[in-house]
Structure 1
């Protein structure tokens, strides 16, 4: 049971980022238009090509986090994206949602992989 609970945050984060990244390219689930300032921000991200880069990194990081030996690398790629999702939700959209869950789950994974991050401290 403990092994399943240890694996759950990695599977959830990996699946969320993989689905989100692949959905950008293959459009499994259509996204409704975003109104107001958040929509303007997302429009700039899309037109500049930055969102494509972010989504490629999401797919790479999401795939890496699913492999136990590569979790720390996957989390290193996904951490800045997670923080940006959280800040977007808090500062622009004023509606915290999945960003909070991603941040908490990423913190759990970082704690589980703390031995691999010791050299950075």
Structure 2
């Protein structure tokens, strides 16, 4: 049971490293978003350069998760990305819920393995 958070951390790191690096290396074909708000949103963040910053955070967080060093920082970097992926699928695409659910569960399991981080994150002063 003590290895489950480590497995979740490694899988999460692999997902973010691979899909983040795909922005520049183009080894996985990406289907276009469905017409409507999702397409407009993707056009806006891609054209503005915002998506580049998000992908840099994904790759950085993914590599840190894979290395096992600075895991707390890595979880802090990829946490907002997971939330934005979930919000994109739930509110704009209205489908494809598998990926945000898997990412959310993996993030929560990896975070649960970092009890020291949770203590400092929610400590009242």
TM-score by length of 1: 0.92
Q: Which residue number corresponds to residue 17 of structure 1?
A: 16
Query: How far is the alpha carbon of 1:103 from its aligned partner?
Result: 0.7
**Cα distance change of structure 1 residues 117 and 4 upon mapping to structure 2, 3 Å threshold:** closer
Q: Which runs of 5+ in 1 are unaligned?
A: none
What's the CA shift for 1:119?
A: 1.6
Matches of 1:47 and 1:85, distance apart in 2:
18
Structure that is richer in helix per residue: 1
Structure 2 residue 47 is the aligned partner of structure 1 residue 55: no
Q: State the alpha-carbon separation in 1 of the partners of residues 25 and 109 from structure 2.
A: 30
| Matched positions, count | 120
Q: Over residues 35-72 of structure 1, what are the superposed CA-to-partner deviations in whole Å (9 max), with x where a residue is unaligned?
A: 22211110101001000000000000001112333211
Distance 1:89 1:25 in 2: 23
Q: CA deviation at 1:6?
A: 3.4
Native 8 Å contact 1:60 1:74 kept in 2: yes
CA distance in 2, matches of 1:6, 1:97: 20
CA-atom RMSD, angstroms?
1.3
Whose relative contact order is higher, 1 or 2, with alpha carbons under 8 Å and at least 6 apart? 2
- Following the alignment from structure 1 to structure 2, what is the Cα–Cα distance between the partners of residues 3 and 67? 18
Mean Cα displacement is larger for which, 111-120 or 2-11? 2-11
